[in-house]
Amino acid sequence: MRRDDALAGLRSLETFLRGRGVSQIYLFGSVARDEAAPGSIVGVAFDIAPGSDFDAFDQGGLYLDLVDALGTQVNFIERRNLRTTSKIGVEVDLIRVF
């Protein structure tokens, strides 16, 4: 998937995602760098809105919604849970979508 396609797809879901407790979305990885090969997984990090009761079930449901909407596999992870060892590399790639 091309970066522009991923950004457009994620931006089209902003109202939907915000309504479910997501405050910010970021694109990362090879798609963010616009270096994705066919079949590359789209990296999507998110922040939870303050005061939201967002939980693992919500994350799982939104993961499925993103896979369906983008038409490809997605790595959907809370931004604060990016592994410390990979966070520096990921932070370089991070593109704030909204």
Q: What is the pLDDT of residue 1?
A: 94
End-to-end alpha-carbon separation of the chain, Å? 19
Classified as helix, coil or strand, 96 is strand
Q: What is the pLDDT of residue 42?
A: 97
Please state the domain count of the chain.
Answer: 1
Question: 12, 68, 6: which is closest to 31 by C-alpha?
Answer: 6
Q: What is the pLDDT of residue 49?
A: 97
| Residue 49: CATH number of its domain | 3.30.460.10
Q: Give the predicted TM-score (pTM) of the model.
A: 0.88
Q: What is the pLDDT of residue 91?
A: 64
Q: Per-residue pLDDT for the chain (98 aa), expressed as one digit of tens each? A: 999 999 999 999 999 999 999 999 999 999 999 999 999 999 999 999 999 999 999 999 999 999 999 999 999 999 988 875 455 556 668 999 99
Angle at CA of residue 18, ends 25 and 5, nearest 5°:
45
Q: Which domain holds residue 26?
A: 3-96
Element containing residue 80 per DSSP (H, E): none
